[in-house]
Amino acid sequence: MRAMVLSAQAPVETSPLAWADPPVPEPGPGEIRVRVTACAACRTDIHVVEGDLPPRRLPVIPGHQVVGRVHARGAGASRFEVGDRVGVAWLRSTCGRCRFCVSARENLCGEATYTGWTHDGGYAEYCCAPESFAYAIPAAFDDAEATPLLCAGIIGYRALLRSRVPRGGRLGLYGFGSSAHITLQVARSWGCAVHVLTREPARQRLALALGAAWAGAPGDTLPAALDGAIVFAPVGSLVPVALRAVDKGGTVALAGIHMTDVPAMAYEQHLFWEKTLCSVTANTRADGDALLAEAAAIPIRPRVTRYPLSEANRALVDIKTSDVEATAVLMID
């Protein structure tokens, strides 16, 4: 099969992904093999490729926002029929037994595995995944549109819940890429006034076009104090900025899997008045089901830029340099 494979972690500008022809994977017990049609790229892929996340397996095929059709089923797999359209996300499996798994916190499982990091992902014609961790894709989305929902959407949704912003409240989004542009649309459906802080004027314009109440740079003065905020940019220096911007009792959620160091903060200025700072770790399957249902009902309209699979390196560079509007999607066909 055709695939883009990472053999050694390196800056994306050096084109570390190489075109290869590995064997078609065989689904194990309880697994499905997916004939991939589209796979979105995201900053987590960059962290895997460049080494911000330590290697769990090399060589590895990245990609964890996978949409395709069930091509084959392993022993005991019966949830989906061959030909069904499915999605494969970042969280690939958990132990199902630990105190986190049995208390609806499977995203914290110490034995969790991940698509495109511990196991081969969707930068390929085929990938395998446990059927219990795959998602049925709503008919409201075509293949490319559905891909960012499987990580950018799910993580943004969990971050929105973790921010504890009330419906109709004021929400701040720091950084405005693939995840934030979906989160904004969900928050708007909740009646929230969304304030977007990003350096790029083009991203500010996109935020306003999608319904943001205000858009500016991180150093600009907000028109009002926030009830909650989400930091999407992997920039630790934005954490105290966001904490200063939230009102008494406000919460700042950190949505990234990797972030530069957070600078020292002053207790009274940043954390007093019962402000809360929390992180977001992966997602639960319940998060994925809820986001997909809500996205179809709204309906969310993801902005995507399509690339051929062979240009995966260029797609990652464009994400890193903010040269893609919202989501870069690799089209396998």
Query: What's the CATH code of the domain at 231?
Result: 3.40.50.720
CB contact at 8 A, 191 and 258: no
**Residue 291 placed within a domain:** no
Counting the structural domains of the chain, the total is: 2
Cα three-residue angle 167-303-164, rounded to 5 degrees? 20
> How many Å apart are CA 107 and CA 332, to the nearest integer?
29
Residues 208 and 246 in one domain: yes
Residues 114 and 188 in one domain: no
Per-residue pLDDT of the chain (333 residues; tens, 9 = 90+): 999 999 999 999 999 999 999 999 999 999 999 999 999 999 999 999 999 999 999 999 999 999 999 999 999 999 999 999 999 999 999 999 999 999 999 999 999 999 999 999 999 999 999 999 999 999 999 999 999 999 999 999 999 999 999 999 999 999 999 999 999 999 999 999 999 999 999 999 999 999 999 999 998 999 999 999 999 999 999 999 999 999 999 999 999 899 999 999 999 999 999 999 999 999 999 999 999 999 999 999 999 999 999 999 999 999 999 999 899 999 997
**Residue 293 placed within a domain:** no
Residues 129 and 10 in one domain: yes
The candidate with the shortest Cα–Cα distance to 31, out of 119, 118, 134, is 134
Residues 78 and 202 in one domain: no
- Which domain does 162 fall in, by range? 154-279
Q: What is the CATH number of the domain that holds 101?
A: 3.90.180.10
Residues 181 and 203 in one domain: yes
**Residue 287 placed within a domain:** no
The candidate with the shortest Cα–Cα distance to 46, out of 72, 64, 33, is 64
Instruction: Say what the pTM is.
Output: 0.94
